[in-house]
Structure 1
């Protein structure tokens, strides 16, 4: 096997979403190796269709160009020793495991070019966003390659401090769950006003997804879009007077996202 492979350790939901994005963007399947002892039938079929090699252990003699660590944080300790042989002097290691610091990864794989990235689950439909941090050993060329691989699932935002990744995790990494819960809350409020539960859920779901698409396509800020839809003295203004009160949504989100960041920091220890 030649050097220069992109090695994906873990082909679950997030790893699989990245792989699908890479293949869709035109990256040759022959340049990718999946390392996963339990590849799903769907992922195995995708790999076979595109000529992606799948293995349960690291092939002897291979040095990865880019090694993506896409396994759950809970199994990183057990998984990393098995891929140490893949790391050469020109390898850049990219971890998407929440809470696992670069010092943790270096403790298993040695010092070198390392990136911490935090994508989110909309990456599964090509609409994610990723926050990333590169240590000083990552060259501009390596950073550009990693950026190209991450951006297949959506925009990539680089931060200047590794500590900022915990805030990224709290805001955008966990953020889709907050939006899903917003849909649940809206639907439940509609049900309590007398709408059939299934209708209330459909209305809430389509409202949030449609508003998200408008936000995606519009050049205007979220605040301007909110103002545009709020007639003075109207129904939207009445609802926003509750949501934007001193004890409304902002302090709740402040507390929620701070709690998520605290948990991300705890996972590092």
Structure 2
């Protein structure tokens, strides 16, 4: 992996996060290229990571082994089309743009046999605690899959999917999931303040409780239901609180919310995958 050249098209937050993670894991900075139209973004990346910077996408991908598309979904079609005539057949393309399906990327690139990996990282990747799902097309070699996984593992967990349609469920779970936890934390802090705690105390206790619960779940072999049962004493305070949440339909609300998110993900993929007039 350390011998390959990785070119990032787009130097925003997620690209910066991946670059930082790669370098922290020992990947040589002089093997990383970044192209972005914003000179301030490029200068910041060069100063922070000593990577090679470009304002021309085509120049950035010359002789690259991997091209990571880190642009907004709405920009994907024009960017991919502009790279097509300069594409090297053995190059691996990795997309981190939400909602863009592999068939659309392949069509815009105009290389039917191009190796493409679609990924869905989430925002905790910004603090190297991400969860990323990956799906590769049939033209992606085993070593290219390993390369894609290695890049995404630089910012957290990486899991392969066996069906691209599952990306909608991933979007609803890990993609949108951080916001669900933030909402729960927001509600808990608000309730704690109404019970008399000051804002800072409520916030710090909530944050540490969320962190501790996640750490327990990660380090335990038990599933979430078993962990919940273990900390719920019969007739105690936790049991009373859990009954209130369940009686209020919490489980059904979460299911409805995630179904809605998955449906919206599918709708956006349909919209974003449409060809623009050339």
TM > 0.5 between the two? yes
Partners of 1:60 and 1:198 in 2: how far apart? 47
Q: Does 1:113 align with 2:115?
A: yes
Contact 1:6 1:32 in 2 (8 A): yes
Aligned to 2:97: 97
Task: Map 1:136-155 onto structure 2 (within 5 A).
Answer: 136-155=138-157
Superposition TM-score, scaled by structure 1 size? 0.91
* 8 Å Cα contact 2:7/2:61 also seen in 1: no
* Residues 63 and 87, structure 1, Cα contact 8 Å, conserved in 2: no
Q: Which residue of structure 1 lines up, in the alignment, with residue 265 of structure 2? A: 264
Distance in 1 between residues matched to 2:43 and 2:193, nearest whole Å: 43
Number of residue equivalences: 265
Distance 1:38 1:264 in 2: 29
> Do the aligned partners of 2:29 and 2:49 also contact (CA within 8 Å) in 1?
yes
Residue number in structure 1 paired with 2:251: 250
Is contact 1:63-1:86 (8 Å) kept? no
1:60-209 matches, within 5 Å, as 62-110=62-110, 111=112, 112-209=114-211
What do residues 156-212 of structure 1 show as CA deviations (whole Å, max 9, x unaligned)? 111111111111111101111111111101111112223333332232222112222
- Which sections of structure 2, spanning at least 5 residues, go unmatched? 271-278
Contact 1:67 1:92 survives alignment (8 Å): yes
SS in 1 for 2:133: strand
Q: Once the 2 structures are TM-superposed, how far is the Cα of residue 68 of structure 1 from its aligned partner?
A: 0.8
| Matched residue, 1:19 | 19
Note closer, same or farther for the CA distance 1:140–1:178 as it changes in structure 2 (3 Å cut).
same
Q: How far apart are residue 86 of structure 1 and its match?
A: 4.9
Q: Superposition RMSD on alpha carbons, in Å? A: 2.0
Q: Does the aligned pair in 1 maintain the 2:8–2:34 contact within 8 Å?
A: yes
Specify the SS of the correspondent of 1:131: strand
Distance of aligned partners of 1:176 and 1:47 in 2 relative to their CA distance in 1, 3 Å threshold: same
Distance 1:239 1:194, change over 3 A: same
Q: Which residue of 2 aligns with 1:56?
A: 55
**Using the alignment, how far apart are the partners of 1:227 and 1:237 within structure 2?**
9
Tell me how far apart the structure 1 counterparts of residues 86 and 172 of structure 2 sit (CA, whole Å): 31
Q: Secondary structure at the match of 2:232?
A: coil
Q: Which structure 1 residue ranges, 5 or more long, are not aligned? A: none
